[in-house]
Structure 1
Amino acid sequence: MKGFLTFASEAEIVALWGAACIAVALVALIMERRRSKRTSIDNVGWVPWTGLFLTFAVLGGALLVVSIPAVIRG
């Protein structure tokens, strides 16, 4: 992995960051679904999962859209 990152272009690194943001967004989506299906209505969480999901999904999507043409070209 170290050798890959050494020779990776900037577009590939941006694509990796975009994929990581999408992964974090999916985790936030799962946690929001888990919170909405809780049995005890009094246990309200303090983490804004919906806001985190939207932030990371938009950021990850933007990073992927910017980097995909350069990654395809090589």
Structure 2
Amino acid sequence: MKEPDFLLFASDATLIGLAGLAMLVLSFIAFMGERRRRNRRDIDAVGVLPWRDIAALTSLLGLLLMALAISGWLKG
């Protein structure tokens, strides 16, 4: 599979920004999973994944990566 040209010539800040964006998307998905778990009909049907912890960790990592990317973009 050929790598797209915009990724081939992207700066480190752009790649970090894409990773941060992916973490924020994963955080949103985990938040929706936690919301679904919290509003379940059967109280005994508890899931296996710790959605709250996943959402917290990925949002923290995503915000940190986005801050690094923005810093890199501003420095040029």
TM bracket (short chain):
over 0.9
How far the C-alpha of 1:72 sits from its partner, in A, is 3.7
Q: Distance in 1 between matches of 2:36 and 2:73?
A: 36
Structure number with higher helix proportion: 1
The alignment partner of 1:56 has SS state of helix
Q: Distance in 1 between matches of 2:64 and 2:71?
A: 12
The 5 Å alignment of 1:1-74 reads 2-74=4-76
Query: 1:21-68: CA deviations, max 9, x gaps?
Result: 000000000010011001000101110000000110000000000110
Q: Distance in 1 between matches of 2:18 and 2:28?
A: 15
Q: Distance in 2 between matches of 1:63 and 1:18?
A: 5
Q: Which amino acid aligns with 1:20?
A: A
TM-score normalised to the size of structure 1? 0.93
TM-score normalised to the size of structure 2? 0.91
Q: Distance in 1 between matches of 2:39 and 2:52?
A: 14
Q: What is the aligned-residue RMSD (CA, Å)?
A: 1.2
**Structure 1 gap segments, 5+ residues each:** none
